[in-house]
A and B are shown apart, each in its own frame.
Chain A
């Protein structure tokens, strides 16, 4: 008797799968919202807002992404464990990106110093192609070499300090001198 009831309940259990079913209206509405947001992001990119540009487009993309994740992927109605798993993947991806970006500018000054030390050919190619005469180009070539002789002498002195302050100074120094050179020629 009790066995019978048990098997009945068992049959009902196995043959069902309770999930949240999203209505068609919601699906179509989300799709339309996504299309509108796409249009907005394309239009917004036409206005030049400088550094805000990336932030705006990423914000819109994030709104779109959360619409997809929560409605299309049912995460809003999903189990907490699945929510947690996805949430932490996003958190760790963000953490990863932040760490990379923190590190990537750490060697900027060294790179700048390196490019000032020996100007790579792709930097040389541009100004020479632009400048019709070869003589000023030779003068600018000579000038950085003189500067770089000064730069290593400076470097050991403020080794402890972050070198950010000294580089703009050398930049400022170079430009007037080169102008002087070209004027005198």
Chain B
């Protein structure tokens, strides 16, 4: 113990004498190996806290599903399995490129690392783009958590209610209000148009990002020291393009579904839901409880999306550092650690996808 302490101080003094202390090695570490191992344990502990954090949400899900399985059966039909599966594959691919990037970093291939990181960032952005399409669509269908939720067949029930007229006044009023608000924009076509319209704001943002990154690249040409700024602009540009790509490919997919089969089960609420509803009428009290499914859905996917955004920021930071040539064969800890975090985010999606989308 004692001897070890003396040798470390000796080495420390030694390195200071020689005046070439490695800036990549923090003062309190003996070697890069030690620094890497310490960091790795740290990131694993962080991942443990993440697992436990998400286990709370999974507990919410498990309790709610075990108590009300019919709500999940009913409500998960509003989630588009194809989009979910596509998102899963995109995220798995980003995981592959991240793992490949870690490999490149370990081998000191900085160009390969850069390509892998940019691909990962783009895939993350595509994931968010598809997710934003899904969220926008849900918002226009009023499939929202809590009070914002409106039952998709509410107007149908309201029509019955006004005929039967056996309810409390408050419920009837609520139903009528829902009918009034839904009636104007009910057709699936118009809802889809509204979704497209909302997403068109994303295009405006993309143009803004293109202009700003153009300015940043212009500054780079004038002054080569502006590398960091230009790289950040490039990351934002890649993210914006990726989101655009994701959103518009899901719009395209939706349009394709429209053209090919007019009664597509997952998407078209107008045709399918009354039939489904009629089937389940006796056993499911959905209108009150279905909103809780959307609370679960938005809570879990929302927290996951926040993690994706955090991961994108971390990956952008890695890209900036890679451009500056920070990583070598003995110093790649940051890449590995962000990679571990990214794989955990992927892992959570691997569980979320079947739990939310694939309920039969």
* Chain A positions near chain B (C-beta within 8 angstroms): 7, 10, 13-19, 21-22, 24, 27-28, 30-31, 34-35, 38-39, 41-42, 45-49, 53, 57-58, 60-61, 64-65, 68-69, 71-74, 78-79, 81-82, 85-86, 88-90, 92-93, 96-97, 100-101, 104-105, 108, 120-126, 128-132, 134, 137
Contacts and interface: CB of A to CB of B under 8 A. Distances in A.
Contacts of A132: 163-164
A69 B99 CA distance: 11
A86 B340 CA distance: 12
B351 A93 contact: no
12 contacts: A15-B22, A15-B330, A31-B96, A61-B351, A65-B347, A79-B40, A79-B41, A86-B48, A96-B55, A122-B288, A122-B289, A124-B167
Contacts of B339: 72-73
B242 to A, nearest CB: 19
B301 to A, nearest CB: 16
Interface in B12-33: 14, 22, 25, 30-33
Contacts of B329: 16-17
Interface of B: 11, 14, 22, 25, 30-33, 36-37, 40-41, 44-45, 47-48, 51-52, 55-56, 58-59, 62-63, 66-67, 81, 85, 88-89, 92-93, 95-96, 98-100, 103, 106-107, 157, 160-161, 163-168, 171, 281-282, 284-285, 287-289, 329-332, 336, 339-340, 343-344, 346-347, 350-351, 353-355, 358-360
A44 B106 CA distance: 39
Given A13-B33, A86-B47, A132-B164, A53 B360 contact: yes
Contacts of A81: 41
Nearest to A33: B92
Contacts of A96: 52, 55-56, 59
Given A68-B347, A72-B343, A60 B354 contact: yes
Nearest to B285: A122
Contact of B103 (A27, A41, A121): A27
B92 A34 contact: yes
B69 to A, nearest CB: 9
B228 to A, nearest CB: 26
Nearest to B85: A42
Nearest to A19: B106
Contacts, number: 195
Contacts of B88: 38
Contacts of A121: 167-168, 171, 288
Q: Which of B48, B63, B287, B359 has the most CB of A within 10 A?
A: B48
Contacts of A38: 85, 88-89, 92, 353
Given A35-B89, A45-B358, A89-B47, A105 B32 contact: no
B92 A128 contact: no
B103 A35 contact: no
Given A57-B354, A93-B51, A72 B160 contact: no
Contacts of B63: 100-101, 104
Nearest to B175: A125
Interface pairs A-B: 4 shortest CB-CB: A122-B288, A45-B358, A93-B55, A57-B354
A88 B164 CA distance: 58
A165 B52 CA distance: 37
A73 to B, nearest CB: 5
Contacts of B100: 24, 27
B157 A129 contact: yes
Contact of A18 (B14, B33, B58, B343): B33
A124 B175 CA distance: 14
Given A21-B107, A41-B358, A101 B66 contact: yes
Contacts of A53: 359-360
Contacts of A126: 281, 284-285
Contacts of A85: 41, 44-45, 48
Contact of A137 (B48, B93, B166, B287): B166
A57 B358 contact: yes
Given A27-B96, A96-B55, A129-B160, A86 B44 contact: yes
Contacts of B85: 38-39, 42
A52 B355 CA distance: 13
B41 to A, nearest CB: 6
